[in-house]
Structure 1
């Protein structure tokens, strides 16, 4: 029991540390192609797509999440803010879904520029980038503060 409580406290501390570092970081935006008619999304809707719980945008169109590379600051910040998950918790989440055959983690792109290019070219994709990297090829559907 005490061991489990210690693990929970460490996890909570890690999430809080990630959230604190996120506040000192650049502002992230969740983006879709400029050709995608999806409305603004809530954090819960975005989390559901990125955690494999939803495969469609609210209008019914297919949604495919695109992550930044494993270990990147942007990825860690994104999951801490949207899903409240540390990298370890996220790995455990996907391990369980893959093992049970209920899902596969999102594809990865090398960096924010690659995410923006790929999302701009495919209206089904949804990704996240630094707000400063926005251009007319994509549009934000959620701003993370």
Structure 2
């Protein structure tokens, strides 16, 4: 019985804490973005807005890569490596943390980024939520 309780506790603690991801833009931006356009922006197939990423290795970045760009982080890294090597593209700039993302998007009308939905403040506008 004690082993089952310990197993239950371990599973509860180890279970990943996925949060909603808010896709954000400058408050003056009137863009309407769906998941397909978001994917095109973060894979360099659209330049309607300037996509910005969080730093590689951040848990929310991995989650966004799968939900927003439709690929695992390793797949996206390989995709961008090929484009950079062939001179056909440049990956989105990376920012160190969510505070930097909020600051950057709030200061750049053409930028699009993402943060944990709980981190959103009045300096940016949420245009899409990924659950």
Identify the TM-score tier after normalising by the shorter chain: 0.7 to 0.9
Question: TM-score by structure 1 length?
Answer: 0.76
2:5 aligns with none
2:35 aligns with 43
1:90 aligns with 76
Q: Distance in 2 between matches of 1:89 and 1:113?
A: 26
1:107 aligns with 93
Select the structure of larger CA radius of gyration.
2
Q: Distance in 1 between matches of 2:111 and 2:83?
A: 21
RMSD of aligned residue pairs (Cα, Å): 1.4
Residue-by-residue CA offset, 1:35-84 (whole Å, 9 max, x unaligned): 21212x1111011001101001xxxxxx1111000110011000111223
Q: Distance in 1 between matches of 2:68 and 2:107?
A: 24
Question: TM-score by structure 2 length?
Answer: 0.84
Aligned residues: 117
Q: Distance in 2 between matches of 1:99 and 1:88?
A: 16
**Which runs of at least 4 in structure 1 moved beyond 4 Å after TM superposition?**
none
Q: Does 1:55 align with 2:50?
A: no
Instruction: Please list every run of 5 or more consecutive structure 1 residues that lacks an aligned counterpart in the other structure.
Output: 1-19, 57-62
Q: Does 1:74 align with 2:60?
A: yes
